[in-house]
Structure formats: C-alpha cells, structure tokens
A and B are shown apart, each in its own frame.
Chain A
C-alpha cells in the first residue's frame, strides 16, 4: 500500500479521489506540506501530494490576473509578479519559521486553502478577496469549477470564498485564478514609541480613521519589540504605521500622520528599507519564528480592533503577544498549560467577539484542544451540512478543522 499518491495532472486527481471513495480511503491533501502542522491531526490513510501540479498557466499583468496549477510554489508566483512590478496585495504570511520549518515554502493552493493574509489585510483584504476562480475535485470525485478569470463576477454562488480557508476539507483544488495588483512604488513607516496596549489601540484607530491610507498598523509591546528586525536596541514599545504609494504622496501623508501622532508619544520614522524589513517580520510573527520559546503554544486571534488591548488585560501575565491589523490581529504565545491556554483565550474571545486559532502546539495538544474556534450549535450544524454537500463520505482532510467535519 503506497503512502503517497502524486498526481501529475487534474485528471489524475479525479482518478485518485474516485478510487479513494470506492475503497473508503481518507486522503491527506497537501501541496508542499508547509502548513501540515497547522490544524487538528487528521486520521488519514494516504497522502495526496499535489506538488507535481505546478506551473503558471496564464499571467496578464495589464488584466491583473494570474492562473496557475494549485501546486505551484508561492515563491515562484511572487517572483514572477514582482518582475512585472506587481504583487499579491493580500501579502500572504509565511507560517514556515513559526512551525519550525524553512521559510519560503508553500503552494498557491495552500495559500488559498488557508486563506492567508498579512498586515495589508486591513486595506487590501485576505486571500479570499483576491481569489477569482478555480477548478477542483469534490469529495464526490467530481471535477467542478466556479468563478472565472475576471474580477467582477456574480454568476452563481461565490464558491471561491468557501474554499478559501477550508483547509482542503471540501475539495481538492487543481487550478486556481487570482488577482494581482501593482506593487506600491515605495513605503515608509511612522513609529510612535512608548505606548501601552490601550493607548496604542486608540492611536491606531485614529490613524486608520484618517485619510492617510495606512496599509499596516501594528503594536509591538516592550517585552517583544527587540525580536523584530531593526528594533533590537529598542527598549520601549513601538506602534508602527505603514504608508505605501508614490513618492510625493508618501511624503505628504507621512507629515500629516506624524503630526497627528505627536500627541500620543514620541514619533520616529523608518525609511523604505527598514520599513520593508520590519513589516516582513510583523507579517511572519518573527518573535515566534526565531525558535524563541518554541515550546509555547502559539495562537492567532482576530477580534474587533479597538478592543484588542482588552485581551492583554484578560490573559495571564506570562503571555507574550503583539498586535497587527490595528489591534484586530493578536499573535500570542501562552505560557505552558494543560490546555495550551485555550480556556482563557476562548473566554476572552466570547466577550470581545472574534475567533482564536491554535497555530502551533504538539500534535497531542492539537488533538485534545479545539484548534479552530468552536462554533455555536446552529453554525456548527450548518458547517457540517456544508462539508457533507461537498464531501459526503468525509474522505478529504477529515477532522482537520473540527471533529466530524
């Protein structure tokens, strides 16, 4: 019995799923396996390795569109579009280092299946917002498609949204189409020093509510700030606001924003190079990726941004955390605990609204604790029905998100 099936094309994928269905085999669907440690450990019989489905099949920069086989390395796509002065505006983060793996790996299929996003989420959206179309094989062994290659499309249900963030539990994507966008000519960051978490959330809300078009807003508290590139010597908390665009525009907005931030604290600016380096570290939650405190359970929370700071007041003192998305995204390393800190964080999320995902923890912990936010009964039942409508026998990544899904 082989452990790994490596289809060469979409046809092979369909054959593999049809066979698995007939044999009652459960499949572990992977691209390069770079995010395999994320999610509940699934009970599967064999691996469906999509990395041979590789290659960009269409790229028209002027039409802002790119199609690729699902197993195409994301690094290859990012390089290709960068050569044309474009980027994936959702700034997909790289889970590699924080999961103890090399950086720069992963496939476009995985990026979409995990609905990745980076700091620019607050302005440009997540992978879901740039996912235009796909072809996939459902758990029924049927090849189907949705969407297209144009940005504006409301023909039928928007299944791209549903597959984004479904972690391979609904269908095996074989071909995908995404939107590309021009890359900003330049960037700078305005940094306010010495704010506590609450003050930082207020300052970030003010910046986001201005017409400065802030494309990144993060708060790096004093206990973690030295782990970010370029801030090693920084003794106090740094609240960082990114501005991107054309030169004259950045210069103008920088002066407006700096003036606005003065009343919150001491203001400094970071030039393009420093800014780029820092935001890459923020994107990839660098303090947790440098092998630092790797035994801590690492969580990623999405909450209403203006209330982000309240989390810090609710969790136990040993937690290490920083904020992105103007306070709405919180990366938090929890001190060792039997439940990885789940109870504390989920109680907090119940009050604030939002969700908490356990990103890094030993497999046994990820099996015992809900990795994805537990859902209310109604939504949980609907989620299960949605799963069954695509994968009635539960052969695709079963249990990866929730038991029974």
Chain B
C-alpha cells in the first residue's frame, strides 16, 4: 500500500554516512542502527500495511542524548519520528525514508513510586502494564488499560491519548497524567506539570497528550495511580437484536449507573471469539454485552441487581452473572482476545476506531451491513458501548488483488458515516497516516490550519513526525501570515452600549 508522504530530502539522503557518524558520536555503541536488516523490525508499526525503512534508527537512553540528537537534527534539517513499542494502529510511528527513527525503548525504568501522592514517575519506554505491575503488590493500579497493555509504552499512550475498556469510568490517558519532561525539536528540555493537579498557566500537558509525537519527545511521565476497587463483578448478557442491546446501554446510564466497563460485540465477533477462547458465549444472539461493576462489595451487589433488572426489561435472551473472579475473567477473556480471534478466521483484518453518539448505533450497524455487501467483505464489530467507540474489524485477504484497497475504501466509508451521524474519526487509535486524508471530513481548512499553527509553536520547521495527522503541510511562515484590512472594516452592526 502506498501513502503520500512528504518528499524525501535528497540533500539529507546524500549525507547519510556523515549523519550516521554524527549520531554515533551522540549515542555510542549499539544505540545507532543503520543496516537494512537490523532496521527491519522498525519499518512499520501496528498498521502493518504501511512499511518504510528509516534512514537510520537511534535508540537513546538519556534525556541529554535525546536533546542532542534533536538539536543536531534541527540544525541539519533532518526529520525525526519518535517510536515507543510500535503498536500504533494508525501508522503514527511509520518511519520516513529520509528521517531518523527515534526509538524510546531504552527509557524503561520506573523512576519513582510515591504512594503518599499516589503517582508513579516513569520513563516513556515503560509498558502500560509495567506501571500497574510495579504497584500491584500494594493494591494499586494505573487505570487506562489499552488491550495492547502488555506491549505498548506509556510514552506511546501519552502520544495517542490511549484508552481502554475502563475509561468510561476512569478516563483516558489525558485524565490520568499529571506531568512530563518534554524535549522540543530544538533540543530544549521542558518540564511541565508535576505531582500536583492542573496547570498554573496554559494546559500544555493537555495538548501534548494526544499529539501523536508531533510536538515534542516525551522523556519522563508522571501518572496517577488508584487503589484497586474492593471487588468487581460482571454480567454477560445476550440480546436478540443490537437495538435491544443499545437500548440497555442507554437505560443503564440513564439510571445513573456508570459501570467500570461496558462492552458490546456483534454476532460475527461473538462467533469468532467463542471458537477461539471457548468463553461460553451464547451463539444464538445478535449482540452480547459485558457490563462490569466495580467498587465496594455492597455497592457492586446492589448495582448488579439493578443492571440485571434493566437488561431483562430490554428483552435480554441470556444473562449470566459472575460469581467469582475466575468467572469474571472468563467473561472478559473473549472480549480481550477479540482482535486475535478475528485474526484467526481471516488472513488479514483492518481495525477501525470511530466514535458515534450511542443512540446512532442501530443505524450505523445497519448501514455497515449494507457496506459489507457492497464491498463484499465481512465485518465483525467490537464496541466500547458505554462511550460510543466502535471498532469494526474488516476482514480481507491481502493476497487477493484489490481486497486491501476495498477494505480501505470500506473503512473510509465507515469513518465518514461516524462523522455524518455526529461522531468522530478516531476515539483512541489516533489519526496517524491512516486517517490523515479523512481529516477534512471533520475539520475545515481553518480548523486544520489553526491546529498546525499550534504545531509551529512547538516545532517551527515541521521536522518532528511530519506527514502524520495533517493532510496538507504548510510552512509556518505561510500559516502565520494574516490579512488585516486595517481601517477598511466597517464597524459591525452589533448592539453596543
């Protein structure tokens, strides 16, 4: 598959050897990788359809090295692509032919665990699960839990503002970070936030979170940790129609209940999963809902009863309640294995990530069934039902000529549909290169230019991760230009006092 990336800088490419030498002087030993074979593992991220070898891979292990690498690249106008574990599903870490791939994997230490302030200070290469593991013996955990949590890094989570099945109640990454150390493209090192709440000025941390590696390289992160809930129980509920399941979700929230997690799967997803993990999912239902309640035991027992009553009133055809931890985990096992399960029944799948206002679910599912016919490709749906984040998995076989292109076109149609019904292109996976060219479906040119002006405030030369997020790149000078009609605008016809 090919995607238009910023044109390679021939002058930079012709100086490759010199550049590699200069980078080795900054990051000695095995920290610079320049052989094609050795660079292979870095040629793509979780969006494997796109591949590109970088000019060189650099694996720094100190903030000082990051700063020097960036300063050197800035002075020599060399592009840089940051990378964590490379699990991005939107191509955020896709290398550039004429760019340095800056792997943050060596930043893998937890610097501080501070229970009194309930924070962990970690380097960006620590895995998401690594943070929870570090504090689990004391009964704490880090709440955002992307399904990729064994592999993905906290740095990548910041860049993508990742979520997980528990973010309905506990928020996304952005709601759980307090501070970071950031290196700008110029090499300048900034500290933002700390162990306290809220910014004393502009919320720069809020902008860095979800900026897809375009604003700066994060070299340290302070996250909040929470005490594990006393207990958690789950309901596994099957429905004869997805409308019924959707109504149930709405009624639960309408009743003032915010479950720890609320996930939905459609029939194709249920079947794929059940064949794979044998979680005991019912096969004769159109939609399956997992609702997890967590908190104090008294509260959970009370809410389980209320959710059960709501589900029955919404015509649930099967309903099971977990009575122990083993059962609860079994309910989840299927959902958590949904991607690999689908990977088993199809040579390839393409994972989408739009968000819709929940009430639009039946309409969106119906339209998706039509598209499935039109493109002659199967689709299985898993859905963060509580917050409307939809993950249609489009099944295809890249070996069949044209199928990948069909899958992509199908995916684009799905995302446009999400926007059409009041939703957005991406709920948690990011824009990257994948949805870059769909951005105009959601934003006007003015909207996008304003976002790029903000990028200019961080990276005036546009050297950090260019070609991601924005469909069209502009020079900062051009974006900054303003047409002021001095003295030529009539006083507006507005009530005045």
Determine whether B328 belongs to the interface, using a CB cutoff of 8 Å to chain A: no
The residues of A that contact B168 with a CB separation of less than 8 Å are 151
Which B residues between 287 and 327 are near A, CB-CB below 8 angstroms? Answer: 295-299, 301-303
Complex: A304 Cα to B116 Cα, angstroms: 9
Determine whether A103 belongs to the interface, using a CB cutoff of 8 Å to chain B: no
CB pair A146 B447 closer than 8 Å: yes
Q: Which of these binds chain B: A70-78, A208-216, A315-323?
A: A208-216
The residues of A that contact B426 with a CB separation of less than 8 Å are 153-155
Q: For chain A, what secondary structure do more than half of its interface residues adopt (helix, strand, loop), or is it mixed?
A: mixed
CB pair A144 B496 closer than 8 Å: no
Complex: A330 Cα to B107 Cα, angstroms: 35
CB pair A329 B197 closer than 8 Å: yes
Determine whether A383 belongs to the interface, using a CB cutoff of 8 Å to chain B: yes
CB pair B384 A152 closer than 8 Å: yes
Complex: A92 Cα to B257 Cα, angstroms: 22
The residues of B that contact A325 with a CB separation of less than 8 Å are 197
* CB closest residue in chain A, given B425: A155
CB pair B196 A16 closer than 8 Å: no
CB pair B302 A154 closer than 8 Å: no
Across the interface, A150 reaches (CB within 8 A) one of B205, B301, B388, namely B388
Complex: A15 Cα to B496 Cα, angstroms: 13
CB pair A253 B197 closer than 8 Å: no
Complex: A325 Cα to B206 Cα, angstroms: 20
Q: Which of these binds chain A: B28-36, B355-363, B394-402?
A: B355-363
CB pair B204 A379 closer than 8 Å: yes
Across the interface, B302 reaches (CB within 8 A) one of A5, A152, A249, A393, namely A249
Q: For chain B, what secondary structure do more than half of its interface residues adopt (helix, strand, loop), or is it mixed?
A: loop
CB pair A213 B295 closer than 8 Å: yes
Q: How many chain A residues touch B (Cβ–Cβ < 8 Å)? A: 111
Across the interface, A164 reaches (CB within 8 A) one of B171, B206, B422, namely B206
Q: Which of these binds chain A: B49-57, B78-86, B124-132, B452-460?
A: B452-460
CB pair A159 B451 closer than 8 Å: yes
CB pair B387 A150 closer than 8 Å: yes
Distance in angstroms from B263 CB to nearest chain A CB is: 13
CB pair A158 B496 closer than 8 Å: no
CB pair B196 A354 closer than 8 Å: yes
Complex: A328 Cα to B257 Cα, angstroms: 29
CB pair A22 B485 closer than 8 Å: yes
Distance in angstroms from B132 CB to nearest chain A CB is: 15
The residues of B that contact A356 with a CB separation of less than 8 Å are 200
Determine whether B424 belongs to the interface, using a CB cutoff of 8 Å to chain A: yes
The residues of A that contact B493 with a CB separation of less than 8 Å are 15
CB pair A211 B203 closer than 8 Å: no
Interface bits B216-250 vs A (CB < 8 Å: 1, else 0)? 00000000000111100000000000000000001
The residues of B that contact A49 with a CB separation of less than 8 Å are 497
* CB closest residue in chain A, given B485: A22
Residues of chain A at the chain B interface (Cβ within 8 Å): 2-8, 12, 15-16, 18-19, 21-24, 49, 52, 60-65, 85-86, 115, 117, 121-122, 125-126, 128-129, 138, 140, 142-146, 148-162, 164-166, 170, 181-183, 185, 202, 205, 208-213, 245-246, 248-249, 251-253, 256, 302-307, 325, 328-329, 353-357, 372-373, 375-376, 378-379, 382-383, 385-386, 388-390, 392-393, 401-402
The list of the 8 closest CB pairs from A to B, nearest first, reads A161-B206, A355-B200, A249-B299, A182-B256, A2-B496, A306-B116, A373-B200, A15-B492
